[in-house]
Structure 1
Amino acid sequence: MADHAIPHFANDAGVSVIHIGAHEFMCVGANPPFDHPHVFLDMGGDHEIVCPYCSTLYKFDGKLHADQSEPAGCLMRPPAEA
């Protein structure tokens, strides 16, 4: 599984629900430096899960790719390497 990247999502807008296209992901709260501990969340057979740190409700949407969210822009991207 080392070749499988886990998407990281951030909730900078402070919305209550984020729809995503992945069942397994990391929630970081907000982008650094305002992030909380990066927590791995796995919906398993369910289609929604609440982050225990920031209380964001994540809902699975099969129409989205693993790196997409609604609202758009919640995927955390690593800083560009120099």
Structure 2
Amino acid sequence: MFGSGYPKFRNDRGVPEICIGVREFNCIGVSPPHDHPHIYLNMREADSILCPYCGTRFRFDPRLTPFDADPPDSVFTDHNVA
């Protein structure tokens, strides 16, 4: 988790759904420089949420940690953050 304190997820593969281990996170769309605004999403008690920018559905999976996703390369780590 960097910057905002919430994990960031991307959808470089263009899959319709990404399973994640958190309910609060940022969606960035795809990897920079083609990313959309990094937006905060909060599922609250719901099991899934749709990103209003890219249409990716994120589904909460309690078996995953906050640093895991399915597909695994959907977790975004910004190495440029100081």
For residues 60-82 of structure 1, give each alpha carbon's deviation from its aligned partner in whole angstroms, at most 9, with x where no partner exists.
Answer: 0000001100011111101267x
Larger strand share, 1 or 2:
2
Counterpart for residue 50 of structure 2: 50
The structure 1 segments of at least 4 consecutive aligned residues displaced by more than 2 Å after TM superposition are none
1:12-45 deviation per Cα after TM superposition (whole angstroms, max 9, x unaligned): 0000000000000000000100100111000001
Aligned to 1:37: 37
| Structure 1 residue 25 corresponds to structure 2 residue 25 | yes
How many residues end up aligned between the 2 structures?
79
Query: Based on CA coordinates, which of the two structures has the bigger radius of gyration?
Result: 1
Secondary structure of 2:59's match? strand
Whichever residue aligns with residue 55 of structure 1, its letter is G
Alignment RMSD: 1.7
TM-score relative to the length of structure 1: 0.90
TM-score of the two chains, using structure 2 as the length reference: 0.90
